[in-house]
RNA sequence: GGCCACGUGGCGGAGUGGUGACGCAGCGGUCUGCAAAACCGUUUACCCCGGUUCAAUUCCGGGCGUGGCCUCCA
């Protein structure tokens, strides 16, 4: 079964195995991770889940030991600095200490959230602050190669030095300059030149460099960390579609510029955007949903399943109705799959995933699959029933429920239906729904 | 303003130049003291206007709508 993935660079479904130099014993994937200044929201959850499935699929195809997955944590950023400055001012403390505190707390929360979503830890989770030296070295290489220039404490990438700049976003320099709304700083040679390094004042976190105390620009960290952990060229690079330009375009410019033009990634994958109840998510509309809030009300696996019901490149609408439907499906499936002794991955299911990660198709295959293939498919997609179980047991006295069920069945046997219905209604009032099946009575927490 | 993506039945959501995926809901039934659950069966579709074609939901052009990028953003 050959995996084909839609490649933003070529706009076709490409097979990794068709690329010369592809090494099936060392499959490498890089995904842009969060900038840690605030809680991750539901939109952030989409790439995390989607690329976790890609990771799991690659491990299935090539073996877990042969897949290397890097998802960075961006802990250098001007939004972070703004928060750090607020915190430092409020306390009269050091701005760097405030930055470190905010990013450590936010990163910890993020890892906790995505773990609840059933995502495996990546092979590496590098933090930008640990790779400043590599960034500085890459910038020096770019200057030496004629791709960058220093000016007024800044270092800028010279886009005119790279004739194919814009190939990922499919935009020409002329188009971009014509439509540009960028403030053109006087030290830029071209309006599209972007910052690799910029100076920091005393109230802003900064690191020493040949160009003075400063901090890296937004894009260079991914280039530097990717090269340090995966090498010059890797197989899959992923992120949200909004990152295509400028972030990924600039990563390509930097990495290829620093590596004699060797390609940065073979396949570029981008997930589509998400709306909430038919509207774009924004703080002003009041429909800004964080993963953390959602996890108060929903098992992480429900959120995960809901995300995989739509294809990752399609725009998706996140709704409570969809979550309810997802929960129902998962619950029914777990009941079927859990007793299975020998799970297997079905051919049609795997074929769907290998066709550009068609998870809706794969889920449809699970609906008609035999029990062992349902169990195997759920496992491959990262579902284990842990979260649902936790949710089901939350604040529930299982012994009391078992006693009530026994009492009700006594009453039913005695044809005392007034009493049996009273017990059932009393449990329902506590949010416990009874199900009478051929094998006896089971219960679940009402949604 | 420039560039790009998407628009499928009551809802979610794949896919295809010609035999109406799949799920939810609904309806009918089996089971059940009843209800729920489970199981079986079943109704409803491709935004609008042109074009290409023997044939278009599927290809092309235009329109409308939603969203994305061009500035931080998954």
CA-to-C1' span, A372 to B39 (A): 19
Q: Which positions in strand B are less than 7 Å from the protein's CB atoms? A: 1-6, 11-15, 21-25, 31-39, 66-74
Residue A284: which pLDDT band, with cuts at 50, 70 and 90?
A: confident
Q: What is the pLDDT of residue A392?
A: 64
Q: How many domains does chain A have?
A: 3
Whether the per-residue pLDDT at A425 is higher than 90: the answer is no
Q: What is the pLDDT of residue A32?
A: 95
Verify that A241 and A381 share a domain, yes or no: no
Verify that A222 and A362 share a domain, yes or no: no
Identify the residues numbered 339 to 398 in chain A whose C-beta atom is closer than 7 Å to any atom of strand B.
Answer: 355-356, 358, 360-361, 363-364, 367-368
For residue range A228-274, what is the model confidence (pLDDT) as tens digits? 999 999 999 999 999 999 999 999 999 999 999 999 999 999 999 99
Verify that A109 and A180 share a domain, yes or no: yes
CA-to-C1' span, A396 to B32 (A): 27
Identify the residues numbered 243 to 302 in chain A whose C-beta atom is closer than 7 Å to any atom of strand B.
Answer: 243-247, 271-275, 279-281
Total Cβ atoms within 10 A of residue A230: 22
Verify that A341 and A437 share a domain, yes or no: no
Assess if residue A58 is contained within a domain: yes
CA distance A413 to A411: 5
Q: What is the pLDDT of residue A447?
A: 62
Give the structural domain span for A433.
395-445
Whether the per-residue pLDDT at A121 is higher than 60: the answer is yes
CATH number at residue A197: 3.40.50.620
Verify that A15 and A146 share a domain, yes or no: yes
Q: What is the mean pLDDT of residues A24-30?
A: 97
Q: What is the pLDDT of residue A386?
A: 74
For residue range A52-64, what is the model confidence (pLDDT) as tens digits? 999 999 999 999 9
Strand B at less than 7 A from CB of A436: yes
CA-to-C1' span, A83 to B41 (A): 61
Assess if residue A435 is contained within a domain: yes
Q: What is the mean pLDDT of residues A57-74?
A: 97
The domain boundary, picked from A254, A271, A288, lies at A271
* Nucleotide nearest A245, from its CA to each C1': B69
Strand B at less than 7 A from CB of A326: no
Q: What is the pLDDT of residue A183?
A: 60
Verify that A25 and A129 share a domain, yes or no: yes
CA distance A234 to A264: 6
For residue range A356-409, what is the model confidence (pLDDT) as tens digits? 999 999 999 999 999 999 999 999 999 987 777 666 656 667 788 888 888 898
The ipTM value here is 0.92
Assess if residue A296 is contained within a domain: no
> What are φ and ψ of residue A360, in 5° steps?
-60, -40
CA-to-C1' span, A405 to B13 (A): 39
Q: What is the pLDDT of residue A174?
A: 78
CA distance A205 to A61: 43
User: Number of C-alpha atoms within 13 angstroms, CB side, residue A37?
Assistant: 16
CA distance A2 to A18: 10
Q: What is the pLDDT of residue A393?
A: 58
Using an 8 Å Cβ cutoff, are A3 and A16 in contact? yes
């Amino acid at each position: 079964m050959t995996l084909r993935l839609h490649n933003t660079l070529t706009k076709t479904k490409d097979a990794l195995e068709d690329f010369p130099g592809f090494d099936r014993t060392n499959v490498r994937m890089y995904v842009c991770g969060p900038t840690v200044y605030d809680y991750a929201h539901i939109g952030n959850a989409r790439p995390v889940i989607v690329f976790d499935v890609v990771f799991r699929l690659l491990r299935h195809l090539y073996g877990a030991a042969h897949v290397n997955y890097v998802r960075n944590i961006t802990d250098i950023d001007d939004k972070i600095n703004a928060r750090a400055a607020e915190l430092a001012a409020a306390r009269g403390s050091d701005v760097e200490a405030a930055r470190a505190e905010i990013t450590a707390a936010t990163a910890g929360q993020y890892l906790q959230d995505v773990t609840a979503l059933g995502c495996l830890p990546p092979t590496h989770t590098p933090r930008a602050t640990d790779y400043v030296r590599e960034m500085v070295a890459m910038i020096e290489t770019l200057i030496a190669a004629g791709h960058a220039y220093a000016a007024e404490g800044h270092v800028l990438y010279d886009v005119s030095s790279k004739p194919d700049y814009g190939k990922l976003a499919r935009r020409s320099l002329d188009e971009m300059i014509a439509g540009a709304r960028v403030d053109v700083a006087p030290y830029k040679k071209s309006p599209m030149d972007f910052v690799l390094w910029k100076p920091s004042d005393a109230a802003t976190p900064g690191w020493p460099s040949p160009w003075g105390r400063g901090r890296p620009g937004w894009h260079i960290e991914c280039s530097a960390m990717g090269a340090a952990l995966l090498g010059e060229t890797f197989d899959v690079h992923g992120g949200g579609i909004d990152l295509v330009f400028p972030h990924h375009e600039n990563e390509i410019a930097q990495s290829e510029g620093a590596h004699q033009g060797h390609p940065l990634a073979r396949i570029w994958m981008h997930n589509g955007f998400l709306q909430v109840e038919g509207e774009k998510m924004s703080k002003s509309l009041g429909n800004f949903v964080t993963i953390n809030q959602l996890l108060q009300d929903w098992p992480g696996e429900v959120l995960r399943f809901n995300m995989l019901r739509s294809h990752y490149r399609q725009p998706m609408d996140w709704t409570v109705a969809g979550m309810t439907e997802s929960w129902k499906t998962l619950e029914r499936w777990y009941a079927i799959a859990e007793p299975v002794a020998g799970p297997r991955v079905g051919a049609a299911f795997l074929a769907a995933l290998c066709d550009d990660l068609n998870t809706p198709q794969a889920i449809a295959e699970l609906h008609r699959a035999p029990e062992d293939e349902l169990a195997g498919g759920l496992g491959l997609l990262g579902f284990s029933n842990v979260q649902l179980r936790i949710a089901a047991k939350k604040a529930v006295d299982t012994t009391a429920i078992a006693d009530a069920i026994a009492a009700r069945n006594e009453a039913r046997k005695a044809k005392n239906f007034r009493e049996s219905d009273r017990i059932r209604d009393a449990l329902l009032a506590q949010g416990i729904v009874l199900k009478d099946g051929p094998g006896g009575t089971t219960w679940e927490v009402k949604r």
